Amino acid sequence: MESMLCLLSPSPTKLPPFKKLTSFSASKTTFSSLSFASMIFSPQPKTPSTKIRSSSKPIKTPSSKTPTKSTSAQESSTPVSLPLKKVLVPIGFGTEEMEAVIIVDVLRRAGAEVIVASVEPHLEVEAAGGTRLVADTSISKCANEVFDLVALPGGMPGSARLRDCDVLRQITSKQAEDKRLYGAICAAPAITLLPWGLLRRKQMTGHPAFMDKLPTFWAVASKIQVSGELTTSRGPGTSFEFALSLVDQLFGESVAKEIGQLLLMQADGDTQRKEEYNKVEWSFDHNPRVLLPIANGSEEIEIVAIVDILRRAKVDVVVASIENSVQILASRGIKIVADMLIVDAAESVYDLIILPGGHVGAERLHKSKVLKKLLQEQDTAGRIYGAVCSSPAVLHRQGLLKDKRATAHPSVVTKLNIVSNGAKVVIDGKLITSKGLSTVTDFALAIVSKLFGHARTRCVAEGLVFDYPRS
């Protein structure tokens, strides 16, 4: 079995230089704790979206940077009027991309103004699994801003890059001093906040690989730990719970519940994890090669989670833009840089082609003639293909779901002539589909299981800190 630690954060090859910081101690704060998981997964009556704790200036969501406004159920996930809350999410070389993107996506759905700031000399940052993200601004331009929340993603060496950024240290220390919210996930509590002195007299959690670096008396092995203004969490597999806990603290419980439902988060026993029909082996005598086409308006959570998880399992993943540029603007305003354009990707053969969702992105994928040809060739050759969220509709319109069992996002599944019993992931022969959003982790792990078996899948899930069956 591969080491869990090596799967924690697939390391890029070259580490750019960065200035080290001097040590810092924050003022002492008081302790309190909050359990959040029970709030998400308890039976949830519909709550009017107007029940919000503040009546501050409203903002429009999705972000004004979003390519096109969609009216589908999956896109209209935010109340009309919400209080303005300003959030800083810093990223650096080696930041864990699932954590960063899920935090940003979920908070923007809730109505927060989220600023993604690079601690590197350039705005484009290569994350831990090789995904290239483009920040909104540089951290130096945030030095004099006031934030309602500062949320630090983890990953290595990303957490160390955040730690060594003096401007970010000052911003976060001032945040704690002024009793405003701050949080960290995965390696960031131990590697970033601890050296800054911002864990004093706080209970905290973190990734299992870094728990021994945290103060023993205060460290707790829980998915989410809220201690006063500080919120900590464990890893990519707990990122949704972490982000929703932050939504709860910023906007209130009713908004957090609503966003959780729209993200398709449910108790583990409420929905079957996977269904499989017409079972066939997915085996290769070479390292599997996967193509992930992306477009403006594609769902960033799904792009990043699929790429991150498959690369942790040592799959060769190629991200290809169907746009005229390798950089795309995803559905919640996150900028992602593909590995190449689809016309260049089309020169190769892939063992599996996966379409991410997002209503606008799916429409753009459907209109790509190059992608349409690739999918038809994939089907004719008997190779594997799949889709999540809105994108099973793309396969349906191209005749690739005929006589197949599949699933999709609830907003589109009823429009498709497909049959499933409500599982998060449905596999039918060499077709794999998923409802998308929070179910995308199950989707990517199902692919790993089909390609490599249960042992490697379990190892990857442990690195993610994601609950996965032992057998």
Q: Which residues are catalytic?
A: 99, 186, 207
The answer to whether 464 and 309 have CB atoms below 8 angstroms apart is yes
Q: Considering only CA atoms, which of 172, 98, 185 is closest in space to residue 133? A: 98
3-state secondary structure of 36: coil
Tokens of 361: 């992105």
Q: Write down the residue that tokens 């609503």 correspond to.
A: 258
How many Å apart are CA 296 and CA 117, to the nearest integer? 21
Q: Considering only CA atoms, which of 246, 257, 254, 245 is closest in space to residue 48? A: 254
Q: Which amino acid is at 335?
A: K
Residues contacting 293, CB < 8 A, separation 6+: 320, 321, 322, 342, 345, 353, 355, 365, 368, 371
How many Å apart are CA 48 and CA 43, to the nearest integer? 16
Q: What are phi and psi of 185, to 5 degrees?
A: -135, 155
Q: Considering only CA atoms, which of 461, 451, 463 is closest in space to residue 10? A: 463
How many Å apart are CA 241 and CA 268, to the nearest integer? 13
